[in-house]
A and B are shown apart, each in its own frame.
Chain A
Amino acid sequence: MKTTIIALLLGAASVFAAEPAKPAAELPPCCRPAVPLGKPTDKSLYLLDSKWTSDVGKTIPLSVLRGRPQVVAMFFSSCEYACPIIVNDMRTLEAKLPANVRAKTDFLLVSFDTKRDTVAALAAYRKKEKIPTANWTLLRGGEDDVRELAALLGINYSQDARGQFAHSNVITVLNAEGEIAFQQPGLNAAPTALVDAVAKAAKDAKR
């Protein structure tokens, strides 16, 4: 009981503390100040020490995303077929979330394409697709790190002769601790189960 009250007080305090600062809405989730939350759990993806670069040019470990649920997909910006659909599925999901859940949920797109998806290419993709800045992170990484993250998300992929990537279509919900809370394979599926999973994960949001 006591700890709950303290946690509530702390939570309230951090909200107040954050308010006078520059509006967080200007920065994508990757670039918000990290919150110290102790050691990640044994199943947390935030145990990874790989470094990633966002479309705003900042280099970060994934653990800076800790504290809020992340809806994650892997994509590549020159994709002709499935990626626009998977990004659309994520946007549909975002629109279906109740406002209080949406305010505590981030979205993360990580590129397969280590060569063509440069920082500039990702920034152009964000602009072209009108991807909101406030809660969407776009990341690129090194080949080994992309392969490793895909392996953790259970995503298989290979590049064909034309440079297109064949890949599994999976939307993953990471909870605030970075553990896989839910995965939805396939495209154009009704987002009901995803909405439920995100709403559940958002209850434990730490920021």
Chain B
Amino acid sequence: MATLPDGKYRPLFRGEKDAKEIAIASFQLDERPVTNGEFLGFVRENPKWQRSQVKRLFADERYLAHWAGDGDLGKADPAQPVTQVSWFAAKAFAAWSGKRLPSTAEWEFAAGAGFTNPDGTKEPEFQQAIAKWYGTPTPDVLPAAGSGKPNVHGLRDLHGLVWEWTSDFNSAIVTGDARGDTGLERNLFCGAGSLGAKDTGNFPAFMRFGMRSSLKAGYTVHNLGFRCAKDIPSK
């Protein structure tokens, strides 16, 4: 795992009275997303997370549908990031590994770092590289996890491989029908949406925000995986 320093994350959307920045305490994050091979080890030890055993409450019908069977990857490459996993399954894997899922703030903080500069917004080469990925469809065959270029913290594939679950993916206050929600971010929808946003140029961040707010915890998606985080042991 890579260790990230203390830092600050500027949320994409915030209420008028909210602080502009959220403090992030130093934490550890997996250098790459969890792979099919690693997830296979998990379901072998935890049969209730096998494809045929999982309860519908915790994962939809497409859970691990690209594997050949409960304990058989079939054509899925063990080195590829695991996808078609629900939030519950990702959370259970993380707990089994003695880790946890990163919060959205932690994930975005990590993903905001460039190849050479901890603030990726100051690095045009990094900005171009991620814009390119967000404009490219997911390939039929995913590359191996960890094959991307590392950022300044040594983290790979935060952009350019798969979307990733976060522990509080359901903290975005929007729904298909925004009347159902109360509070700060009700202006998200329609043309006025970006007025409350701090950085209207950060299109990939909007895409991630939209992606997360469209998810439900049991959903499994062909290009959505996860990586784990861990607190720094207190001294």
Q: How far is the CA of A148 from the CA of B89 in the complex (A)?
A: 12
Contacts of A160 in B (CB 8 A): 15, 17-18, 183-184
Contact among A147, A150, A158, A169 with B180 in the assembled complex (CB-CB below 8 Å) = A169
Complex contact B173–A147 (CB within 8 A): no
Contacts of B216 in A (CB 8 A): 151, 154
Give A164 Cβ to nearest chain B Cβ, in Å: 8
**Taking chain A's interface residues, is the majority helix, strand, or loop, or is none over half, making it mixed?**
mixed
Contact among B168, B174, B180, B183 with A186 in the assembled complex (CB-CB below 8 Å) = B180
**Taking chain B's interface residues, is the majority helix, strand, or loop, or is none over half, making it mixed?**
loop
Complex contact A151–B87 (CB within 8 A): yes
Contact among A144, A150, A156, A162 with B213 in the assembled complex (CB-CB below 8 Å) = A156
Complex contact A185–B180 (CB within 8 A): yes
Complex contact A185–B173 (CB within 8 A): no
Residue from B170, B213, B217 having most chain A Cβ neighbours under 10 A? B170
Q: How far is the CA of A168 from the CA of B179 in the complex (A)?
A: 9
Tell me if B172 counts as interface (CB < 8 A to partner A). Answer: yes
Contacts of A157 in B (CB 8 A): 170-171, 173
Q: Which residue of chain B lies nearest to A81 when distances are taken between CB atoms in the complex?
A: B182
Contact among B19, B57, B183 with A161 in the assembled complex (CB-CB below 8 Å) = B19
Contacts of A130 in B (CB 8 A): none
Complex contact A161–B17 (CB within 8 A): yes
Closest 10 CB pairs of A and B: A166-B183, A185-B180, A151-B217, A158-B171, A82-B182, A42-B56, A161-B18, A156-B170, A42-B55, A166-B173
Of the A-B pairs whose beta carbons lie under 8 Å apart in the complex, a sample of 10, sorted by A's number, is A42-B56, A43-B55, A147-B167, A155-B170, A156-B170, A157-B173, A161-B18, A167-B182, A168-B181, A185-B180
